[in-house]
Amino acid sequence: MKTWSCIENCGACCKFDLDERSDLNDKLTNKDFELIKSMTSKDGWCKNLDRTNKKCMIYEDRPHFCRVKHFSVLFKDYLKNGDKFLIDCCKQHISSIYGKKSEVMKKFILEIQ
């Protein structure tokens, strides 16, 4: 089985549209939602993402819902399918931000081989 790994200079999951994430309703508190709203720019990108290199500027102190392995245990799909679930999530994010055939996608695919 392939092992999930985050790649540098991606940040594709750092763009939020809570209207499209009803799956988070039972996983986040009101405080979490308030934090997400305060972190999100008008264009949907997290204010903590350095847009020039796509790196998190508060990586060591990022919220619990940004800690993929930690947060993923709240998802039934992760408990059932393990890293495949995480890999599919990353592919969806990367595809929507950079495109299916983007260099970022190629880098991600290589990383998880």
CB closer to ligand SF4 out of 22 and 59: 59
- With a CB cutoff of 8 Å and minimum separation 6, the contacts of 41 are 47
CB closer to ligand SF4 out of 78 and 108: 108
Contacts to ligand SF4 by CB under 6 A: 6-7, 10-14, 39, 46, 48-49, 56, 58, 62, 66, 68, 90, 93-94, 108
- With a CB cutoff of 8 Å and minimum separation 6, the contacts of 5 are 111, 112
CB 42, min distance to ligand SF4, A? 15
CB 95, min distance to ligand SF4, A? 10
- Distances 43 to 17, 40, 56, 99, 111 between C-alpha atoms, Å: 9, 8, 17, 18, 29
